[in-house]
Amino acid sequence: MDITLHFFFNLSLLIILLFLGILWIGFSDNLRSLKTIAILFCFASLIICFAFKFRFQEDILLDLRTIPFTIGGLYLGIGPIIGLFIIVVRGMYGINFGFFSTAIIIAFTSLIFWRMSPWFLKTSSRQRVIIATIMTFIVNLFPVILMEISQKPFSIYDVYFGYLIIQPIGSAMIAIIIEILFKTIYLRHHLVKTKRLEVVEKMAAAISHEIRNPLTAAIGFVQLMQDETISNDKRDQYLSILKSELNSAEKVIQNFLNYTNPQIERVESLNVNDELDIVTNIMQPLAKRNSVTIESKFSSIFWINGNRQSFHQCFVNIIKNSIEAMETGGPLKVEVESTQTNAFIRIHDTGKGMTQEQVERLGEPYYSTKGESGTGLGIMVSYNIIRALNGTINVKSEVGKGTTFEFSFPIDETK
């Protein structure tokens, strides 16, 4: 039973190592880095197997090396490299009967795994698990037969159970975990791709909708200009209108480009209190229509570097959304504080609030908490502008109680 217990302990270490590898893989989306991590896991597993070997006799070392050898050879296609590593490490423990039998078996099966790997990866998930299990059994059958032939005195049933039962089951368990990981990675990439396609479709639909009117008008005037009986003055008038409509279409496209990546063309020192005062005055009519009272509290005068128009656009969008979230009206607080290095702007509403999932999705293209009535472009633009101004955003919200937006900007120390 000593061999069996030792193998179970070794197998538990391999599974723990595999889960550590899965945690590592969870932080990576690059397929090349995923394969690198898998190769590192394979060789780390081999090192663990040799480190926790069971020296049955002077020339016989029992361990679970067949599991990472089979999994790595079939899934990664690096059978000869793994095989060479096993032979070299085994040689460090002595050149004897066990070494030569290992070298022959590993060299032969590593070439088989190398040729099998491309075909193996094309099979179904269930077939891969079965094949990995069977190949582990077959590879382990050779040393058992050799020990039988050499008539070594050993506990035959313990070795049989360890080599022909535990190791194939171990390979099956690890293969199943790998297949689940494959499916998870595939679903994650598929989800990201689907979201990107959804954004592209919505953007295309929005652009199509916005430029359809000027282009339709332009086409109409082109058709009118094809009439050879019209006067030159009329033709010039049509050309002027045509140019104006095409400029409108170009402006629409430029506006959409600015939505995704706003460019801060002119940077100047801004008095935060003055600029926010302008913004709140702009929003007063909308606030009154929604029974909202804007309460401003500015602690001190300080300056930040930014673009005035972009700053106004950003906070008009934020305050507008806050007002619209307050369906029953109430106070909307705009507070300004500062430290020696940073300015903090807080906008707190008493609206319907948001869930944590909604908060995390704020700023995503075309995501809106208003459902079908909103486009999400306003918040997306605001978030992009804040980042372009070297600012940070922190949102706290509770359903039924309201939302607080906190923006932090580095202070202009020259003022």
Exposed/middle/buried for residue 191 (C-beta within 10 Å: 0-12, 13-18, 19+): exposed
210: confidence class by pLDDT, cuts 50, 70, 90:
low
Q: Which residue has the higher pLDDT, 199 or 178?
A: 178
Q: Can you say whether the dihedral through the CA atoms of 228, 231, 233, 234 is positive or negative?
A: negative
Question: Which residue ranges form the domains of the chain, and what is each CATH number?
Answer: 2-193 (1.10.1760), 207-260 (1.10.287.130), 268-410 (3.30.565.10)
Listed residue (54, 34, 302) closest to 189, CA to CA:
34
298: confidence class by pLDDT, cuts 50, 70, 90:
confident
**Residue 30: pLDDT over 70:** no
Q: Taking residues 12-28, report their average pLDDT.
A: 77
Instruction: Please give the pLDDT value at position 374.
Output: 53
Amino acid at the residue 319: I
367: confidence class by pLDDT, cuts 50, 70, 90:
low
Q: How many residues does the chain have?
A: 415
Instruction: Please give the pLDDT value at position 96.
Output: 80
Task: Give 299-302's long-range contacts (Cβ < 8 A, gap of 24+).
Answer: 299/335, 299/336, 299/337, 299/338, 300/338, 301/271, 301/273, 302/271, 302/272, 302/273, 302/338, 302/343, 302/411, 302/412, 302/415
Please name the residue that has the structure tokens 């909202």.
292
pTM comes to 0.52
In the chain, the percentage of residues whose pLDDT exceeds 70 is: 84
Q: Which helix (H) or strand (E) holds 408?
A: strand 402-410
In the chain, the percentage of residues whose pLDDT exceeds 90 is: 22
Instruction: Please give the pLDDT value at position 29.
Output: 55
Distance CA 162, CA 165 (A): 6
Q: Judging by DSSP bridges, how do beta strands 330-338 and 342-349 pair with one another?
A: antiparallel
Distance CA 350, CA 327 (A): 9
List phi, psi (to 5°) of 63: -160, -175
Instruction: Please give the pLDDT value at position 405.
Output: 93
User: How does pLDDT run across 67-121, given as a tens digit for each residue?
Assistant: 999 999 999 999 999 999 999 988 888 788 778 888 888 899 999 999 999 999 8
User: How does pLDDT run across 151-175, given as a tens digit for each residue?
Assistant: 555 556 777 887 888 899 999 999 9
